[in-house]
Copies of this chain bind each other. A is one copy, B any other.
Amino acid sequence: MERASAAGTRWLTDEEQRTWRAYMHAVTLLEDHLDRQLQRDAGMPHVYYGLLVQLAEAPDRRLRMTELARRAKITRSRLSHAVASLAKNGWVRRESCPSDKRGQLAILTDEGYEALTRTAPGHVAAVRQALFDRLTPEQRTALGEIMTIVAEGLQPKESGADLPWLR
């Protein structure tokens, strides 16, 4: 990979600079806000909530750990840690994969499903209030388009791409 040099750098324009700072502020504050909300109301960080949602939507409420890491966009070691903690709560249990001895499944328990059901209304209200309710319909559409472009751009299809769940 070519290292950029100061001479050839296309620095951000003033407007891009403002946009980039607003992006970082919004993202940092929103993550903090939702994490606090979920810690307060359900005793779990935001990332755990996302894992429960993924499992709840999967057939038989179960996913292979590698697939769960890919869907949550996190590293396998971060996932292992999170699932161990959710298992301690009794919200998730692990089983070895019947078709592949080395594979592990994460399975949402009934208690985990109830915890999610209890927590979802407050969480959705927080997401609405902090994000969707503040935007015009045009801005909501633009946000969806922009974030899809960025997320897809950061997941190249080549094998060997440096993606969290492949590490």
Contact = CB atoms under 8 A, between A and B. Distances in A.
Interface residues of A, number: 64
A150 B135 CA distance: 9
Given A3-B122, A27-B147, A130-B150, 11 more contacts: A4-B125, A15-B140, A19-B140, A20-B131, A26-B148, A26-B150, A26-B151, A28-B73, A32-B164, A33-B162, A36-B162
A149 B134 contact: yes
B122 A74 contact: no
A11 B50 CA distance: 16
Query: Within the oligomer, what is the number of copies of this chain?
Result: 2
Contacts of A121: 3-6, 8-9
